[in-house]
Every structure is written in C-alpha cells, then in structure tokens.
Amino acid sequence: MRIVRPRQDAPTFRYCGRVFSNAEIDLIRAITDDPRHDTREAIARAVCTTLNWRQPDGTLKVLSCRVALQRMEAHGVIWLPLPVREKRPPRTPTFTPRSDPLPPITGSLTDLHRLRLGLVQPGAESGLWNELVARYHYLGFRPMAGAQLRYLAYDGDRPLAAMGFGAAAWRLAPRDRFIGWIAPEREAHLALVVGQHRFMLLPWVQVPNLASHLLARALRRLRQDFQQRYSFQPVLVETFVDRARFAGTCYAAANWQCVGQTQGRGKRGDNPLSVKAVWVYPLVPNFRTVLTGGRLTAPRRSAP
C-alpha cells in the first residue's frame, strides 16, 4: 500500500482511507505508550474513541483501525505490543449435506412460483451462505470486512443463488472517472459506494433471465436494507466481472453500466491478475451530487 509521508507543507499520513495528521500520530503514540492499553485490540478501540473514527451507524471502526495500526508499525511510524495470540487463517466452511447438489432446476421464471430473495440473518442461514459460496463460487469464500449484506434466493426451500455486498474498492480508476471524483471527495464519501463481492446461480439452476431478475430485486431493496442494519443508504454499487470467464450479460440486462476494466495488476503492481470489467449501478439519480459533496450536479457521460 502506498503511504503518503509528511512534507513541510502537508504533514499527513494516509492509511485505510483515512488521513492522519502529525498531531493525530502523536496521540496514537501516546495511546500505545499507555500501560492501560496493553493489547492491540485495546489500542485500536482507544484510538477510534479518541479520533472519533466510526462507521456510518456510529460504531467504532476497530477492524479498519487495527489494519491501519499494523501498517503504521510496518512503516516504522508507531510501536505496537506483540500479538496476544498467533494470527490464524480464516476458517474454511465445512461442507454438509445441506449444500449438496440438487436435481436440475429448469424452465422459465414463471415456473418458479415460490421465488423469494431473502436477507441472510445470523445463524444457520449465514452458515449456509458461507458453505454454498465456498463450495460453488470460483473465488471461494472469504469473510467480508465492514458493513455488509448477504442474500439467498430460493424457490420454496430450494436454494437458487447467493450474493453478497460489502466495502467498495478504495481506489478504482474507471469508477472514479465515471463519478468525476477527486481524492478528497473519495475519502469523504467512499462509504456510500458498496461493492458486490459475490454473485452466483448454483450449478444446478438453469433458468433464463433469473440472474438479471435477482440483481434487479436486490438493488430495489439494497438502500433500505443498509439503512435498517447500518443506518446509512448507499448511492452507487460496483462489481468486477472476470472477462476470461463471463461476458457480464446479466449485468447489462439489469441496466448496469460497464465503465472500463482493471489493469490486471495487484495492489503493488507486481502480482499479475486477470483483467476484470468494472460495472456500476447508480441507486439514486443524483448520486454524483452526493458523492462529490455538491460539486457536480450535471450528468456525465460514462466511459466507453
């Protein structure tokens, strides 16, 4: 991750989408030196409280703060106590009979008489979503950070599809050009953009137009669902489509816009990745006005 180091005219550091002044770095150093905060978790909570670093719903951004603190330590900006316990890799969901393949589901949308799209709640259904994604999505399962929503589509009690929304990419050139963002506006309003991290029809589901239909249903309720769970309403959704695997037909059919593609590089530019198309969907007509703090009001033409 690129760090913006202090200069004579602008003494700031940038980590995890937040700019820290020299004065704030001094406060963080004082917290790390305080024996009352003897673990990384305690330090992160104290830093969030002191700097009022919070989610849109008012909860402390402890996870983002812990990542920022670790990166500060790696750059020699602060010192942290040793981790209390060794970091363990995320647990891979165990496959159970509830995610076993079902007989093929074919026909048309009108044949799915009990079609429903439900917001996943904590508990057994959350485990089922994790298991299905780990078992059948080509990218597998990985926990999403920050504010997130997951959905499962069913026909009666037969699962059909899974999708998940979470934090947007910090910097994404095609999206940023589409919005017309400058860096301070992105830093201030990025939380109002969400990313669709997972979407799949299960392998035994072969129903034409179902994917675009489910996308449309999810987007109609997305703002209200985020409001109810996290007390904010996003105004734009983004996603990536691997061009080596998919054409993005369902996104086009659901009126998403393809605004460009990634450059096929990792975060540091030395890790080759597949090129992915960048698709976006505005959830409100005045999304540019909101995301630029009122600077842009007129519509902009999307990238070819």
For 22, the domain range is: 12-74
Query: Does residue 83 form part of some domain?
Result: no
Sequential pLDDT tens for the chain (304 residues)? 444 444 444 456 888 878 899 999 999 999 999 988 889 999 999 999 999 998 877 888 888 899 899 989 988 899 998 887 655 666 778 899 999 999 999 999 999 999 999 999 888 889 999 999 999 999 999 888 778 999 999 999 999 999 999 989 988 999 999 999 998 899 889 989 999 999 999 999 999 999 999 999 999 999 999 999 988 999 999 999 998 899 999 999 999 999 999 886 554 444 557 889 999 999 999 999 999 999 998 666 554 4
Phi, psi (deg, nearest 5) at residue 137: -85, 135
Question: What does the alpha-carbon distance between residue 225 and residue 77 come to, in Å, rounded to a whole number?
Answer: 39
Query: Does residue 121 form part of some domain?
Result: yes
**Together in a domain, 50 and 137:** no
**Together in a domain, 141 and 285:** yes
Query: Does residue 108 form part of some domain?
Result: yes
**Together in a domain, 119 and 249:** yes
**Together in a domain, 133 and 68:** no
**Together in a domain, 35 and 181:** no
Q: How many whole angstroms from its chain centre is CA 39?
A: 27
Question: What does the alpha-carbon distance between residue 114 and residue 263 come to, in Å, rounded to a whole number?
Answer: 42
Query: Does residue 5 form part of some domain?
Result: no
Structure confidence by residue, pLDDT tens digits, 161-180:
999 999 899 889 999 999 99
Query: Does residue 160 form part of some domain?
Result: yes
Query: Does residue 85 form part of some domain?
Result: no
Q: How many whole angstroms from its chain centre is CA 102?
A: 30
Instruction: Classify the C-alpha dihedral 98-104-109-114 as positive or negative.
Output: negative
Which CATH number fits the domain that encloses residue 127? 3.40.630.30
- Among residues 139, 243, 163, 153, the alpha carbon closest in space to that of 207 is found at 153
Query: Does residue 132 form part of some domain?
Result: yes
Tell me, what's the pLDDT at 293? 93
Tell me, what's the pLDDT at 88? 61
Q: What is the DSSP letter of 145?
A: P
Both tokens assigned to 33: 């030196």
Tokens 């917001």 belong to 119
What is the count of structural domains for the chain? 2
Query: Does residue 154 form part of some domain?
Result: yes
pTM: 0.76
**Mean pLDDT in the chain?**
88
